[in-house]
Amino acid sequence: MLEFIDSLWVFVSAIIAMILLGMVAGFSPTLYITQIGIASKAKRARSLMLSLMAGVLLAIIVLSILFQFFQPDSLHNFIDSDPSALLVSTIFNIVIGVIFILGGLWYINKKPNRINKSEKPTSKSSYVALVSLGFFRTFASISGATATFFASGIISGAKVDIIGRLFLTATFLATTLAPFVIILIVMKRHPSKVERVLDFLKAQLHKFNYKLIIGVGAVLLGSGIIIFNILNIIIF
């Protein structure tokens, strides 16, 4: 009985972690503003907003597959030796750590938040362009990559069957898209509030330099990943 309760608690904790990490993975003020701009100005708003969401979802799925593939348990399907699988996983994680550090430094040195008028969606916006925008903005996002990196590790290490892992993955993906779905619903039911919400988000984006915080966090995280994996390979 105690073992069942313990397993249930671990699974519930993993679900909570997926929800929190999903919120971080989907965090992108620029994409939020783009989606609101679509709702306020562009024709075919619903279809275009769904295209943007499809790009975000695709990026998270690609990142998840990439990170989970290089987990030691997954590598065992291709590499018979445990030390070799651990070495490949460690090298990959160190590379990810270096990328986080470089990305963090780029965020720190980047100019303050601003919205380029040329990036505003118009009635001529194409589905492919918005899918691409959602994909590359999310795929190259430090917050998105970081959250997906940790989510993949939790899912891979979860002591559950394939159904449990699929449920955790679905929870993570659903939470990632939740802000975009909320915007879609709110913009459809209260179109008169679109401009006010858009102006508010733009003001907050200029006022709060979230990129500096993300940049510092990415540098610290990347350093921690490198140190942890080097110690892990030495101890092993």
> Position 29: which residue type?
P
Tokens in use for 62? 């690609």
pTM (2 decimals)?
Answer: 0.80
pLDDT at position 194: 62
Average the pLDDT over 204-209 and give the result: 67
183 has a pLDDT exceeding 90: no
- CA angle, corner 60, sides to 58 and 62, nearest 5? 70
Alpha carbon distance 124, 44 (integer Å): 10
Average the pLDDT over 216-236 and give the result: 85
Where exactly are the structural domains of the chain? Answer: 2-235
Q: Which of 126, 88, 102 is nearest to 233 (CA)?
A: 88
Report the SS3 class of residue 192: helix
Tokens in use for 46? 């619903």
* Band of residue 18 on the pLDDT scale cut at 50, 70, 90: very high
User: Which pLDDT tens digit goes with each residue over 84-142?
Assistant: 888 888 899 999 999 989 888 888 887 655 554 444 554 455 788 889 999 998 998 88
Q: Position of tokens 């919205």?
A: 115
Alpha carbon distance 70, 89 (integer Å): 5
Q: Which of 71-75, 91-95, 109-113, 169-173 has the lowest mean pLDDT?
A: 109-113
Please, are residues 121 and 41 in contact by the beta-carbon 8 Å criterion? yes
Give the number of other Cβ atoms within 10 Å of residue 50's Cβ.
Answer: 17
- CA angle, corner 172, sides to 171 and 176, nearest 5? 115
Alpha carbon distance 173, 53 (integer Å): 11
Q: Where are the beta strands (DSSP E) in 75-225?
A: none
pLDDT at position 62: 94
Q: Which of 222, 213, 175, 224 is nearest to 17 (CA)?
A: 175
Percent of the chain with pLDDT over 90: 22
> Residue 23 contacts by C-beta under 8 Å, 6 or more apart in sequence?
175, 176, 178, 179
pLDDT at position 117: 45
Average the pLDDT over 50-57 and give the result: 92
Mean pLDDT of the chain: 81
Q: Which of 17-21, 56-60, 165-169, 203-207 has the lowest mean pLDDT?
A: 203-207
